[in-house]
Chain A
Amino acid sequence: VQLVESGGGVVQPGGSLRLSCEGSGLTFSSYGMHWVRQAPGKGLEWVAFIRYDGSDKYYADSVKGRFTISRDNSKNTLYLQMHSLRAEDTAEYYCAKTYGSGSRIDFWGQGTLVTVSS
């Protein structure tokens, strides 16, 4: 199983960015997926979840209305569209898969760094 994030980079405050997470070695469409972030030197913060078929989505209050989680099961890919980015969104962003169709995380990607700075 591999989860590979991409799309991170440096963006100005107020800008947008789209992260991707491509899965391989698994039946991607069978698993719920999370985004979790970690600001430099800080702890883990859950960001968003999408059910295996995209039917349910949940967000942290800190990103609600600014971030959108989505997936394309035909491409084995998870996305996080981020708008109105703030300095406090600077973090390593990890995608993580669930065990089965539930919400329990059992495997993590390696992360992609997003830096919001002018």
Chain B
Amino acid sequence: IQMTQSPSSLSASVGDRVTITCRASQGISNFLAWFQQKPGKAPKSLIYSASTLQSGVPSKFSGSGSGTDFTLTISSLQPEDFATYYCQQYYTYPITFGQGTRLEIK
């Protein structure tokens, strides 16, 4: 299953609200996760089952979607939110990731 994220990169300002889209090449129900990765660091789990926040993740992050189309929304951007975000399907093996969306400060 191919996962396609858009956009590949995004510039935004502190305080903005942004949305990242992830599309699966076939239906994956809600077996979709989102990860955040900062430079030189390991990824961090944000969301699973398309819309459920991992414990400890602030509510400024939200996810939605089912089937083939999914979104990650981040509200009120803060400096620590600027990172690369990946979607991942775990519906079937081989597990696949999107190519990533780099969120940069404008």
What total of A-B pairs shows CB separation below 8 Å? 55
Interface residue SS majority, chain A: strand
* A45/B97 in contact, CB under 8 A: yes
Q: Does B96 lie at the interface of the complex (its beta carbon under 8 Å from any beta carbon of A)?
A: yes
Which residues on the A side are within 8 Å of B96 (C-beta)?
46
Q: Please, how many angstroms separate the alpha-carbon atoms of A103 and B33 in the complex?
A: 11
* A44/B100 in contact, CB under 8 A: yes
Q: Please, how many angstroms separate the alpha-carbon atoms of A108 and B49 in the complex?
A: 18
Q: Please, how many angstroms separate the alpha-carbon atoms of A51 and B42 in the complex?
A: 22
Would you give the shortest CB distance from A106 to chain B, in whole angstroms?
5
Which residues on the B side are within 8 Å of A25 (C-beta)?
none
* B43/A108 in contact, CB under 8 A: yes
Q: Does A11 lie at the interface of the complex (its beta carbon under 8 Å from any beta carbon of B)?
A: no
Number of interface residues of A (CB under 8 A): 22
Number of interface residues of B (CB under 8 A): 23
- Within B3-60, the residues touching A (CB, 8 Å) are 31, 33, 35, 37, 41-45, 48-49, 54
Q: Does A28 lie at the interface of the complex (its beta carbon under 8 Å from any beta carbon of B)?
A: no
* A43/B45 in contact, CB under 8 A: no
* B42/A110 in contact, CB under 8 A: yes
* B45/A106 in contact, CB under 8 A: yes
Cβ-defined partner of B94 (8 Å) among A44, A46, A106, A110: A46
The 3 lowest CB-CB distance pairs between A and B, nearest first, are: A58-B93, A46-B95, A108-B42
